[in-house]
């Protein structure tokens, strides 16, 4: 059993091969997919229309997996144990796994061939093209995916309509009361909801251009784009053609081990009919894949159904459903003014929680979902409010993460037996919280209830976190480290708290880092305003905003490098790095650079490094905005801004993304309407793509949002915490960040704006100020007792026409 063939390469297939490789399966695994790319995140598909690249949604293929993409399987020869391909080829197997997924259901109405579906990246490409010449659009289907599609049409600039056959929206997740409130929310955003309505025909002109959708009563909804999102149908045609058992209404029949009627063939995901049910959520499909992988490798796992609970945010509205949608008794809370509807379903003896619905406020979901089918832990009315959930003690078998089927007991075991002490550790150990993230608050509660006490102290000298120290310095107007440690700490400080406090003081007061006592707080790089290298020399990095530089300035850099014998390299951030300068040479080198108009590039500090850019609309035929001009403006605006960790940025002039903006702490991608802003990306040891914070911003809106993002990060992040980890640590993540800096939910935006304006108004080049101050210059010597003597241990060799350090053996 060393040849596994997987037909279909969607998320379920990806989880299968990922699990197989994780179990150390030794053999050939071949995955055959019809699409031109490996599996991608369909849950986040809507983000593709707002600027997320296809490559960012695509999962990484596990090592050793053979993929055949753009390839269609035409038949299964079960006796010969091989599949036949459209190109005439065959692929033999010992075990076959069908992961063919589903197709969108398109009702058989006249004109349906002119409509779109909302399933693949190529579907969204077609919708985007059609929307360019459209004014209004209609989505048929008011379920989860239908509302996402409607939001996508709205984001593309169309007036959107939603047509739903049921009397209310999202009938599988909410009841009539919740549906009414949801409709009110959505119509308040400018969308039109047509509930209890069907489709008679899609109206199109002689050229096939859609002009509207006609309802059964004859009413015409004018539209130029129609999208069907009215459910799915399992793709079981291959199973039918080779004689595998299928359900009366479709779907490949499987047993609890995910085996079909042929023991050598498994089926997983949306094509599988398990105990008479097709599952269309990511959690159950992942569980099916894990069960199949376990069985293939000799295990005994079974698929015994799945939790269909859902928590999501659609069109800015929180919606959650867990457990049953009916019960002998129910307790309802409704606040139409606040737009909140909550209902719990309980047993006839009022002791067992059966299920619940939340619209407008889903905060009870995380705490209550694990108690479905169990005895109520408190009064039903109390449980409807978010404050009650924090005190609940979950039983070990309570499911915490439905996406990855992780229960409370598994998390407690990870904490107790494996020493996990924080949410990232729980995620890495159990996978809980790694898919939709809705269970992260519960992970924090489980950590706390397990007795894990994560100290917030910056170090042994301060009992406060960096964020708390920042507020103390700001509110108390502290100006020196001595004052801070005397009033709020103890001891003399260390190499942890001193640089952290130095950064806070620089962020708030913008004084020179080598001024007075501050000079003693800096680490080696900041102490000499340069990056120390492996042989004790330093690098010199002048700022080149946006990567734009004149020939005269290039000549100056070349002359300096030649005259001081420095190794010269163009960096990935569009700057020129000069290596090999001895400490006593730094002032001489910088004097020449400053005279030529250069300033410090802050390559040595926890500060803004670069704002990289492509050439944008000025030169590139694809560019839609002036990316160079924007990059220069941003780099000059934020130069010298001290922060908990170094900051990098980039601006791309179009969606082709040549500046790699989405790998930066804040990245900007031009659109025809303005700018999309991404935050929380980074390269380095653990790369991460940034997430879309806002789209189609004007230049003023973009700069204001970045100002607030940076200042809020500087205020609240931990020492050496990158923006990516900081956003993940925020309760509510990106949504919370958006509320704070764009909606001003905390009422601090004016303060953040003023803080940034203070930085801009008081910025001064550190090297210029150093050259003008003899006291600061006196520190740049190799030997205090022999100021003119160079360090004899610094030796160079030559390679490719440039110096390289020779290290002592």
Q: Which residues pair with 137 in a beta bridge?
A: 160, 225
CATH class in words for 3-103+233-296? alpha beta
pLDDT tens, 648-671? 999 999 988 999 999 999 999 999
Domain 112-230 falls in which CATH fold?
A: FAD/NAD(P)-binding domain (3.50.50)
pLDDT tens, 717-776? 988 899 998 998 887 889 899 999 999 999 999 999 999 999 999 999 999 999 999 888
pLDDT tens, 593-612? 999 999 999 988 899 999 99
pLDDT tens, 674-705? 999 999 998 876 678 899 999 999 999 999 99
Domain 407-454 falls in which CATH fold?
A: Arc Repressor Mutant, subunit A (1.10.10)
Contacts 24+ apart (CB under 8 A), 494-497: 494/459, 494/460, 494/461, 495/523, 496/458, 496/459, 496/719, 497/458, 497/459, 497/461, 497/462
Section 118-144 average pLDDT? 94
Query: Of the segments 221-225, 349-353, 782-786, which one has the largest average pLDDT value?
Result: 221-225
pLDDT tens, 458-484? 888 898 989 899 999 998 999 999 999
> CA 543 from chain center: how many Å?
30
Whose tokens are 């108009």? That residue is 597
The CATH number of the domain covering residues in 608-778: 3.30.413.10
Of residues 397 and 158, more confidence is placed in 158
Contact between residue 617 and residue 629 where contact means Cβ atoms under 8 Å apart: no
Task: Kindly report the average pLDDT of the chain as a whole number.
Answer: 89
Of residues 371 and 19, more confidence is placed in 19
- CA distances from residue 513 to 443, 451, 610, 640 in whole angstroms, order as listed: 40, 41, 20, 11
Convert 108-144 to b/e letters by CB count within 10 Å (16 or more is b): ebebeebbbbbbbbebbeebeebbeebebbbbbbbbb
Determine the Cα–Cα distance for residues 312 and 438; give it in Å rounded to an integer.
Answer: 8
Determine the Cα–Cα distance for residues 801 and 85; give it in Å rounded to an integer.
Answer: 55
pLDDT bin (cut points 50, 70, 90) of residue 386 is very low
Check residue 687 and give its pLDDT: 76
> CA 2 from chain center: how many Å?
37
Contact between residue 586 and residue 594 where contact means Cβ atoms under 8 Å apart: no
Section 21-40 average pLDDT? 94
- List all residues 6 or more positions away from 575 whose beta carbon is below 8 Å from its beta carbon: 541, 542, 543, 544, 547, 601, 603, 610
Convert 474-492 to b/e letters by CB count within 10 Å (16 or more is b): beeebbebeebbeebbeee
Check residue 149 and give its pLDDT: 93
pLDDT tens, 495-511? 788 888 988 998 888 88
What residue ranges do the domains of the chain occupy?
3-103+233-296, 112-230, 407-454, 466-522, 608-778
Check residue 385 and give its pLDDT: 64
Check residue 438 and give its pLDDT: 66
Decide if 3-103+233-296 and 608-778 have a common fold. no
Among 558, 564, 559, CA closest to 588: 564
Q: Is the pTM of this model over 0.75?
A: no
Angle between helices 699-716 and 749-762 (to 10 degrees): 90
The answer to whether residue 576 scores a pLDDT higher than 90 is yes
């Amino acid at each position: 059993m060393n040849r596994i063939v997987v037909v279909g390469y969607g998320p379920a297939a990806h989880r299968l091969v990922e699990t197989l490789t994780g179990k150390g399966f030794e053999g050939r695994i071949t995955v055959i997919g019809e699409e031109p790319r490996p599996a991608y995140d369909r849950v986040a598909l809507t983000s593709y229309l707002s600027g997320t690249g296809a490559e960012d949604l695509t999962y990484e293929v596990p090592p050793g997996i053979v993929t055949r993409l753009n390839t269609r399987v035409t038949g299964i020869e079960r006796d010969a144990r091989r599949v036949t391909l459209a190109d005439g080829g065959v692929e033999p197997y010992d075990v076959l796994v069908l992961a063919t997924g589903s197709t969108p259901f398109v009702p058989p109405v006249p004109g349906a061939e002119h409509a779109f579906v909302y399933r693949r990246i190529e579907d969204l490409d077609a919708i985007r093209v059609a929307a360019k010449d459209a004014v209004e659009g209609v989505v048929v289907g008011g379920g989860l995916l239908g509302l996402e599609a409607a939001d996508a049409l709205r984001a593309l600039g169309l007036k959107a309509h939603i047509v739903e056959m049921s009397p209310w929206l999202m009938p599988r997740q909410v009841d009539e009361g919740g549906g009414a409130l949801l409709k009110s929310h959505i119509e308040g955003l400018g969308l039109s909801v047509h509930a209890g309505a069907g489709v008679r025909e899609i109206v199109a002109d002689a050229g096939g251009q859609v002009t509207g959708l006609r309802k059964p009563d004859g009413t015409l909804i004018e539209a130029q784009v129609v999208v069907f999102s009215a459910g799915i149908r399992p793709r079981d045609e291959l199973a039918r053609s080779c004689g595998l058992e299928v359900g009366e209404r479709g779907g490949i029949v499987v047993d609890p081990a995910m085996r079909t009627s042929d023991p050598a063939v498994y089926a997983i995901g949306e094509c599988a009919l398990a105990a008479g049910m097709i599952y269309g959520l990511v959690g159950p499909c992942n569980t099916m894949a894990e069960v199949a992988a376990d069985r293939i490798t000799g295990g005994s796992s079974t698929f015994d159904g799945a939790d269909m609970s859902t928590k999501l945010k659609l069109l800015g509205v929180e919606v959650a459903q867990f457990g049953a949608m009916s019960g002998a008794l129910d307790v309802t809370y409704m606040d139409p003014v606040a737009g909140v509807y909550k209902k719990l379903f309980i047993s006839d003896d009022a002791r067992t929680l059966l299920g619940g619905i939340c619209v407008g406020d889903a905060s009870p979901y995380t705490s209550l979902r694990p108690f479905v089918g169990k005895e109520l832990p408190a009064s039903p009315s109390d449980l409807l409010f978010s404050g009650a959930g924090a005190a609940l003690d979950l039983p070990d078998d309570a499911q915490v993460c439905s996406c990855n089927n992780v229960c409370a007991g598994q998390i407690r075991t990870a904490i107790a037996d494996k020493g996990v002490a924080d949410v990232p550790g729980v995620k890495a150990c159990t996978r809980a919280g790694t898919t939709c993230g809705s269970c992260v608050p519960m992970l924090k509660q489980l950590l706390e209830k397990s007795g894990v006490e994560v100290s917030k102290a910056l170090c042994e000298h301060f009992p406060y976190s960096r964020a708390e120290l920042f507020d103390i310095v700001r509110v108390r107007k502290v100006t020196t480290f001595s004052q801070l440690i005397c009033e709020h700490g103890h001891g003399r400080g260390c190499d942890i708290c001193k640089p952290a406090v130095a950064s806070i003081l620089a962020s708030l007061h913008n004084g020179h880092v080598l001024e007075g006592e501050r000079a003693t707080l800096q680490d080696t790089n900041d102490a000499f305003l340069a990056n120390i290298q492996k042989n004790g020399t330093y690098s010199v990095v002048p700022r080149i905003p946006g990567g734009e530089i004149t020939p005269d300035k290039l000549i100056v850099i070349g002359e300096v490098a030649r005259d001081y014998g420095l190794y010269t390299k163009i960096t990935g951030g569009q700057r020129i790095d000069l290596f090999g300068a001895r400490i006593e040479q730094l002032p001489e080198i910088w004097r020449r650079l400053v005279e030529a108009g250069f300033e410090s590039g802050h390559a040595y500090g926890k500060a803004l490094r670069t704002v990289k850019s492509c050439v944008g609309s000025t030169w590139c035929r694809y560019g839609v905005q002036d990316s160079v001009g924007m990059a220069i403006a941003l780099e000059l605006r934020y130069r010298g801004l001290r922060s908990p960790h170094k900051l990098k940025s980039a601006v791309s002039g179009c969606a082709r993304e040549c500046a790699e903006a989405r790998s930066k702490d804040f990245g900007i991608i031009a659109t025809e309407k303005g700018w999309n802003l991404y935050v929380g990306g980074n390269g380095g040891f653990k790369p991460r793509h940034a997430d879309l914070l806002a789209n189609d911003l004007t230049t003023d809106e973009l700069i204001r949002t970045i100002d607030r993002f940076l200042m809020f990060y500087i205020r609240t992040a931990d020492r050496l915490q990158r923006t990516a980890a900081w956003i993940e640590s925020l309760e509510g993540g990106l949504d919370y960040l958006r509320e704070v800096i764009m909606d001003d939910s905390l009422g601090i935006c004016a303060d953040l704006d003023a803080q940034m304006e203070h930085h801009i108004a008081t910025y001064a080049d550190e090297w210029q100020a150093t050259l003008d101050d003899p006291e600061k210059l006196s520190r740049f010597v190799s030997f205090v007792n022999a100021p003119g003597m160079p360090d004899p241990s610094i030796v160079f060799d030559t390679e490719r026409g440039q110096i390289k350090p020779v290290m002592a053996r």
